[in-house]
């Protein structure tokens, strides 16, 4: 478990450097093949709630990508902050869910919320300097947090 946590954190740190991307994904794959994900028990109602949140996460990512493509960076920032970022913690009942999560899973969750809020700030910069690349890179870092948690944890 300790190893696992360290691994996920390394993965997240590595994901910050775009150049390390391919390598990061390969490592995750090797790891997943070796030990498999940790199974986490949530009460049924919380499980349903969490999966609904997850589907909203994915739809938020799609909306964000659409806004970036349209150079509507402020809208991309708004969606990221409200639905995935630190501002979304209350909406998701994060406090209630966190107590059922192993520490490593909580950490990846926090890293995702932070990455989303960081993305929102970066997108606001793009709105000013018209540099799309930095927003796409910040979005990739955010998405890597989704990947890291899915690689490490499953609900049962």
Residues that bind ligand HEC (CB under 6 A): 51, 54-55, 57-58, 61, 84, 105, 108-109, 112, 145-146, 149-150, 153-155
Cβ proximity to ligand HEC: between 132 and 146 the closer is 146
Rounded to a whole number of angstroms, the distance between the first and last alpha carbons of the chain is: 18
- Min. distance of Cβ 112 from ligand HEC in angstroms? 4
Q: How many CB atoms sit inside 10 A of residue 117's CB? A: 19
Distances (CA, A) of 117 to 76, 79, 106, 114, 156: 11, 10, 17, 5, 30
Cβ proximity to ligand HEC: between 43 and 130 the closer is 43
Distance CA 20, CA 11 (A): 10
- Min. distance of Cβ 102 from ligand HEC in angstroms? 10
Cβ proximity to ligand HEC: between 55 and 130 the closer is 55
């Amino acid at each position: 478990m300790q190893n696992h946590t360290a691994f996920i954190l390394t993965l997240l740190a590595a994901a910050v450097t775009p150049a390390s991307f391919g390598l990061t994904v390969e490592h995750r794959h090797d790891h997943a093949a070796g030990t498999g994900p940790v199974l986490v028990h949530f009460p049924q109602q919380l499980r349903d709630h969490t999966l609904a949140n997850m589907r909203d996460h994915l739809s938020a990512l799609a909306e964000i990508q659409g806004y970036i493509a349209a150079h509507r960076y402020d809208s991309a920032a708004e969606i990221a902050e409200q639905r995935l970022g630190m501002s979304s913690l209350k909406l998701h009942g994060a406090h209630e869910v966190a107590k059922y999560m192993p520490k490593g899973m909580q950490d990846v969750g926090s890293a995702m919320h932070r990455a989303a809020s960081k993305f929102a700030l970066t997108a606001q910069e793009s709105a000013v300097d018209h540099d799309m690349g930095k927003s796409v890179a910040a979005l990739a870092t955010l998405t890597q947090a989704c990947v890291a948690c899915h690689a490490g944890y499953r609900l049962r």
